[in-house]
Amino acid sequence: TFSKALAFSFGRFGYGLAAKELVHEIYKVLLPYNLNGFSELAASLLMENSQLLQPAVAAMIVQRKRLSAELKKIPGIETFPTEANFILVKCGFDSRRMVDKLIDRGILVRDVSSYPGLRDHLRISVGTPEENKILLQNILAIADSEYSANGKGREPEK
């Protein structure tokens, strides 16, 4: 998304590719004027100059691979393959506790445990190297405390 690649989240624009039938269904529920003029202009300029996005996209891909690999090393944490700018993570304990403890530490992740089939799952956006380092340190500390508190100790390495 442009919001992640260019730190342009306030722009609220993106694009999607879909089968004609799906696009038809989306248009049925799409609000009129769903994109403001500023966002439309910015999106069109970025599309005309897409080479500006390439360094940011390449950096995100490197960080996504690193973050995913490091998350997999944390006891109780399972990650899933992704090509997006976020990683789906399953906690080995109640994901709402993880979310609450991360919020207490000033870190926001999306709790997706209410989505069908995603009990105890989180969606973690890929950040900068420093943001990812802080996130990993905190998730490791929280996971360690969860397993210690439950008398489980650390799970064996996967």
Per-residue confidence of the chain (158 residues) as pLDDT tens digits? 566 666 666 667 777 789 999 999 988 998 887 778 888 888 888 878 878 888 888 999 999 999 999 999 998 999 999 998 999 999 988 999 999 999 999 999 999 999 999 999 999 999 999 999 999 999 999 999 887 766 554 443 33
Query: How much is the pTM?
Result: 0.75
Contact criterion met (CB below 8 Å) for 96 and 110: no
Indicate if 37 and 83 belong to the same structural domain: no
Indicate if 74 and 118 belong to the same structural domain: yes
Parent domain of 42:
2-52
Distance CA(61)–CA(122), nearest Å, equals 19
104: CATH: 3.90.1150.10
Indicate if 61 and 117 belong to the same structural domain: yes
Contact criterion met (CB below 8 Å) for 60 and 86: no
Distance CA(76)–CA(154), nearest Å, equals 8
Q: Is residue 156 part of a domain?
A: no
